[in-house]
Structure 1
Amino acid sequence: MLDLFLATPTPVVPTPTTPPPGGADFFSTIMWPFKFLVEAILVFWHWIFTAAGLPAAAGATWVLSIIGLVIVVRSALIPLFVRQIKSQRKMMELAPEMRKIQEKYRGKRDQLSREAMSRETMALYKKHGTTPVSSCLPLLVQMPILLGMFYTLSDVKKHAEWGVGGVGLLNTELTKQFYDAQLFDVAPLHTNMIEAINLGQTATVVILVILVVLMIASQFITQLQIISKNLSPEAKTGQAYQMQKIMLYVLPLAFIFSGVFFPLGVVMYWFTSNIWTMAQQFIVIRNLPTPGSEAAKAREERLARKGKALDAKGRVISMEKYQAEQQRLVEEAERARAAQPKRQQPMGKQRAKKQSNKGGSQG
C-alpha cells in the first residue's frame, strides 16, 4: 500500500491532434535538403539568442529566430533578385521591337510566317541577351527555399505532439521548445486562427487578425509602388497593366486565407518576408527605376539638385560631364547626317526630256 503512494506517477501523454509524420515520399525527398537548411539557420539563430540570455522556450526567442531566418535567406537571394530586375529591364527595352515583329506578321497564319516570326523573335532575344524565362528563373529558384520554410514551421506541431524532431538540427527537444513558445506569453506559435477560435484564445485571434491586416497592407503598398511609380507610359497602355491593377486588389486577399489556416509562426515569417519585399522594392524603384517612369523622373530631379545626371549608359556623372557628353553626341549625329549621301529628287519624264534637250543644244 505504501508503495502505491511513493511510486512516481506516469506522465500523461496528450492524444495527438495531427496525423503521424509520414514516411519518405517523392516530395519529402526533394524538400529534405531545403528543410535541413532552414532548420540549421533557425537553430543557429536560436542558439545566438539563448547564448545572449533569452529563455530557450520563450516566444520572443523563437520569433526573433524566425526573423533571423528570413533575413539570412532573403539576403542570400538578393543576387537572384538583381538578376531578375535586369532581365525584366531588358524585356522592357526590346518591347517596341517585339511589337514591330508582331505587327509585321499580324493576321498571317501559315506555317512559313509562324516560323519566320519565331526566328526573328529568337534573334531579338539573342541580341539583347535575355529571354522571357530569364525573368521567371529567379522566382523558380526561390520557391523550394520558401516551401522549405513553410513546411519546417508548419510541421512543428505535428512533430512535437508525436515526440519527434525535424529532418536535421531541429531535434526533439528544440521542437518541443518551439511548440511551447508563446508570443507575448499568450499566443502559441503553433496555433492557427481556427484553432484559437475553437479554444477560446482571444489574444491569439487578435494578434493573428492584426498580423493579417498588416500583411495585406504591406502587399498592397508593394504592388502600388510598382504600378503608380515604376511603369513607363507605354506600359500603362497595355492589357498587362490592367491585369496588374486587378491584382493590386485581388492578391492581398490571398493573405486572408493564410491568416486563417497558417500557424502563428508561419504568419510571422510571412509578415516579415512581406516587410522585406516592400523595403527592397522601395530601394529598387528609388535607385533603379524603369526608364520613362515617374520614379525615373523623380530620380533625375534629385540628381539635378545635386549637380549630377545620368550618362548614356545609366551611370551617375557630374553635370559638367553630362553636358560635354550631350554636346559630343550632337556633334556625332551632325557628322553622321552630313556624311550620308544626298537624296536626289525623283524626276518626271517631261523634266528629264527637257534636261536632255537642254544638254544637247549646249553641246
Structure 2
Amino acid sequence: MSFFTSIGSFIMQPLYYAISAVLVGWHNFWSLFFDPESGAAWVLSIVGLTLVVRAALIPLFVKQIKSSRNMQLLQPKVRELQKKYGHDRERLAQETMALYKEAGTNPFASCLPLLLQMPIFLALFRLLDQAAKNEEGRGILSDERATEFAHSELFGVQISKTFLGADGDLGVQIMAAVLVIAMLVTTFTTQRQLMTKNMPESAMSGPYAQQQKMLLYVLPVVFAIGGVAFPIGVLVYWTVSNLWTMGQQFYVIRRNPAPGTPAADAKAEREKAKAIRKGKPVPTEVVEAEEVVEDRPAPRVQPKRQTKSQRKKGPQNRGPKGS
C-alpha cells in the first residue's frame, strides 16, 4: 500500500509546486491590501488561483463546446445507424466511431476540462487539508504560511474548516452550506443552459441526450455529497470555477450557437432587430435562419379523445356542417 502511496505522491508533487506557487504569488499581492493572516487575503488568493487555472483551460473549453455541438448535430445520423445496425452492436460501434471521425469530433472531448481539473482540484484539496490539519506546507507553501492559512478567518469563520469538521461552529456550517448550495446550483444551471439553449430538437432524444439529462441531475448531487467534506477554501475554488464556466458558456452560446437551436433563433432575432434599428438590410444568414425556422414541421396535433358511444355513432350521426 505504501508503494502506491509513494507513486501517487510522486505524481502529485509537480502539481503541489505549481498550485502553491500561484497561490503564494496571489497571497503576496493581496497582502499589500489586507492583513497577510486574514481570511480575505487567502480567499482572494484562492479566487486568483481559480482564474489562472480556468484561463489556462480556455482552449480546451472551446474544443469542448465545438465537440458538444457537433455531437448534437450528429444525433439524427446516429439514430439512423442505430436503426440500421441495432442488431449488431460491434458494427454499430464501428460505424458510429467512423461517423464521429468523419465529422472531426470526439465524444470524450467534452470531458477533457473536467478531467484535467480533477488532479488540480485534488492537489489543492490536499494542500489546504494538510495546512488545516497539520499546519504543514507543501510545494513552496511554507509551514509558517500553512499555519497562517489554518487560523485565518473570514467574517469570523475559519476557512480551513469543513461542514463535517465544524465541531458545532454554526458560522462554519452556514458558510459551508451556502457554498455547497452555490456549487450545486451553478453546476445544475450550467448543464441546463447547454441543454435548453444550444441543443436542437433533433438532439433531444437518443443516448447522448439521455447522458446529458443524467449528468444534469447526477453531477450536482455528487458535488453536494462530497462538498460537506471539503474545506471552505476548496468550496470557494469550485464555486468560482463553476461561475466562470457558466459565464464562459453563456458568452460562447450567445456568440456562436449551434444551428437550429433556440440560441441560434435568438441570435437571428437580435441581428435582425439591430439591422432594422440602424436602417440596414437584414443579413442573409439571418433571413436563411428564419426560413429554416418557418420550414420546420408544425407540431402534430393529437386528435381529441372520444367516448365509446361517440365512436359508435360515427360521422354519419353528427350534425350537419356549420350547425
TM-score range, shorter chain: 0.7 to 0.9
Shift of 1:49: 0.9
Is residue 87 from structure 1 mapped to residue 55 from structure 2 by the alignment? no
User: Which residue of structure 1 lines up, in the alignment, with residue 170 of structure 2?
Assistant: 202
Q: 2: distance between equivalents of 1:37 and 1:208?
A: 26
User: Which residue of structure 2 lines up, in the alignment, with residue 165 of structure 1?
Assistant: 137
User: Which residue of structure 1 lines up, in the alignment, with residue 46 of structure 2?
Assistant: 66
Q: 1: distance between equivalents of 2:242 and 2:271?
A: 30
RMSD of aligned residue pairs (Cα, Å): 2.8
SS at match of 1:194: coil
Q: 1: distance between equivalents of 2:81 and 2:211?
A: 24
Unmatched runs of 5 consecutive residues or more in structure 2: 289-323
Shift of 1:273: 1.4
SS at match of 1:262: coil
Amino acid at match of 2:243: I
User: Which residue of structure 2 lines up, in the alignment, with residue 213 of structure 1?
Assistant: 181
User: Which residue of structure 1 lines up, in the alignment, with residue 8 of structure 2?
Assistant: 27
Is residue 188 from structure 1 mapped to residue 155 from structure 2 by the alignment? no
User: Which residue of structure 1 lines up, in the alignment, with residue 87 of structure 2?
Assistant: 107
Shift of 1:79: 0.6
User: Which residue of structure 2 lines up, in the alignment, with residue 287 of structure 1?
Assistant: 255
Q: 2: distance between equivalents of 1:23 and 1:189?
A: 31
User: Which residue of structure 2 lines up, in the alignment, with residue 175 of structure 1?
Assistant: 146
The two structures have a TM-score, normalised by structure 1, of 0.70
SS at match of 2:86: coil
Superposed CA offset, 1:137-188 (max 9, x none): 444333322322222222222340xxx321x21011111111110111x111
User: Which residue of structure 2 lines up, in the alignment, with residue 234 of structure 1?
Assistant: 202
SS at match of 1:55: coil
Q: 2: distance between equivalents of 1:34 and 1:73?
A: 12
Unmatched runs of 5 consecutive residues or more in structure 1: 1-21, 309-317, 327-363
Shift of 1:94: 3.2
Identity %: 43
Shift of 1:292: 1.2
Shift of 1:103: 2.6
SS at match of 1:193: coil
The two structures have a TM-score, normalised by structure 2, of 0.78
Amino acid at match of 2:13: W
Amino acid at match of 1:175: A
Greater mean deviation of Cα atoms: 200-209 or 244-253 = 244-253
Q: Which residue of 15, 19, 23 maps to 1:38? A: 19
Equivalent runs, 1:289-308 vs 2, <5 Å: 289-307=257-275
Q: 1: distance between equivalents of 2:83 and 2:36?
A: 65
Amino acid at match of 1:181: S
Q: Which residue of 252, 259, 270 maps to 2:238? A: 270
Q: Which residue of 113, 116, 125 maps to 1:150? A: 125
Superposed CA offset, 1:79-102 (max 9, x none): 111011122223333333333333
Shift of 1:208: 1.6
Superposed CA offset, 1:96-142 (max 9, x none): 33333333323247xxxx45x56544543332223323333444333
The answer on whether the counterparts of 2:198 and 2:258 sit within 8 Å (CA) in structure 1 is yes
Shift of 1:250: 3.9
Q: 2: distance between equivalents of 1:107 and 1:219?
A: 37
Q: 1: distance between equivalents of 2:229 and 2:116?
A: 26
Q: 2: distance between equivalents of 1:213 and 1:119?
A: 42
Q: 1: distance between equivalents of 2:210 and 2:5?
A: 44
SS at match of 1:176: helix
Shift of 1:291: 1.8
Q: Which residue of 312, 322, 328 maps to 2:284? A: 322
The answer on whether the counterparts of 1:60 and 1:183 sit within 8 Å (CA) in structure 2 is yes
The answer on whether the counterparts of 2:23 and 2:46 sit within 8 Å (CA) in structure 1 is yes
